[in-house]
Amino acid sequence: MKQKVCIVGDGLTGLTAALFLSKLNIDIHLIAPNFEKKFKDNRTTALSRSNYNFLIKFLGEKNSKLFWPSNKINLYHQNQNANQNFMTFEDNGKNLLYVVENNKIKNLFKTMLKKKNNVKIFKKKIKKINVLNSAIHFEKKKNFYDLVFLCIGKAPNIIENLIGSRIVQNDTKQVAITTIVKHNEKNLNSSQYFFKEGPLAVLPTSKNSFSLVWSLNKNAKSKKINDLIKEKLKIILGSRKYFSFTKIDTFPISLKFNASYAKKNILVLGEGAYSIHPIAGQGYNLILRDIKTLYTEIYNLLSIGIQLKDSQILNNFVSKRKPENFLFGIGIDFINRFFSDNKITKPFKNIILKDLNRFKLLKNISLNLSNKGIFY
């Protein structure tokens, strides 16, 4: 009899976990009440080169067209009235990152999951989760599992009740606004602009479109945001260039780390375990590294015939992944604070950034960290 795991959640984390773990010789129950519902999600996801290569092995080369590559990343800092290009990342013409629209990748994952013989999709709502025996209670029945993975996003009450962990968090006092920009500029590269209002990312999704992700003070007046975006787009594209953008979506930004990811046979994955600033596009990259590690841990136990339930697998996973997730989150938060418009860092910025692009070792280290992580 196959061992059985349950994945709760039909967001990007839950769908990714279900798809990758379906390659293993286990039965998977995906609890996804909204599986068939269509939600418009204007957000995009950036993938490092190593994570893209890992992902495309599972998805197949035919799906590579969903991902738009960038072989150059420019960093700009607003210096008085000008924008200083203080660093450019390149690697001999190799692609550095790939951008995919969330809607497209979610729909692909759902299509593939429907074809998996060892994946059963439950569209029911959960009544209760029992930590002691790893049981999921529905309206009229309950199922028992060897492992349960919670991919339910930022649901602090549910997670705290189940895992009972302390939470370390910091209010960034920012929100992320996102929109898709259409334009007629040629050869637009991925870029990060550090404006005084907050960091703005340009992530190309096609030849003539890009995803704009701008972190702004959460008290910014919505009426002025459209005008601010137009002002910044004239800087990015040039005042004479054509552009238009879709409806603006707003999402909260938080820096949060759970003291514990797991209890008994239940593991929290994704934003329920930690959330970081989107400034470097590392959120989903960290989650993919989590899932790669989880896949390897389960594979190793299955290959020697050990029962997943009540094993050390979740403790091993947490010890391997928690340090990197924490260090990345703190490091990215430091970058955001350094470039924020404050009196403490302002005198040092121009001095530090002036010759930064000349330090090849620093650039290589930064590229390796963003591509493969800390403990590669």
Q: Which domains does the chain have, with CATH numbers?
A: 4-170+253-372 (3.50.50.60)
pLDDT at 222: 67
pLDDT in tens, the chain (376 residues): 789 999 999 999 999 999 999 999 999 999 998 887 777 778 999 999 999 999 999 899 999 999 999 999 999 998 766 788 999 999 999 999 999 999 999 999 999 999 999 999 998 888 889 998 999 998 889 999 999 999 988 766 777 777 776 677 887 889 999 999 999 988 789 999 999 899 999 999 999 999 999 999 888 766 688 999 999 999 999 877 789 999 899 988 988 898 889 999 999 999 989 999 999 889 999 999 999 999 999 999 999 999 999 999 999 999 999 999 999 999 999 999 888 877 777 777 777 888 888 888 888 888 888 998 887 6
Determine the pLDDT at residue 160: 73
Q: What is the dihedral of CA 188, 190, 194, 198, to 10 degrees?
A: 100
215 contacts 279 by C-beta, under 8 angstroms: yes
In this prediction, residue 89 carries a pLDDT of: 94
Write down the pTM of the prediction: 0.93
Strands 167-183 and 243-245 come out as antiparallel
10, 33 contact by CB (below 8 A): yes
- Picking from 253, 201, 248, the residue whose alpha carbon sits closest to that of residue 45 is 201
Looking at residue 374, what is its pLDDT? 83
So what's the pLDDT on residue 221? 66
Which pLDDT value is given to residue 80?
Answer: 65
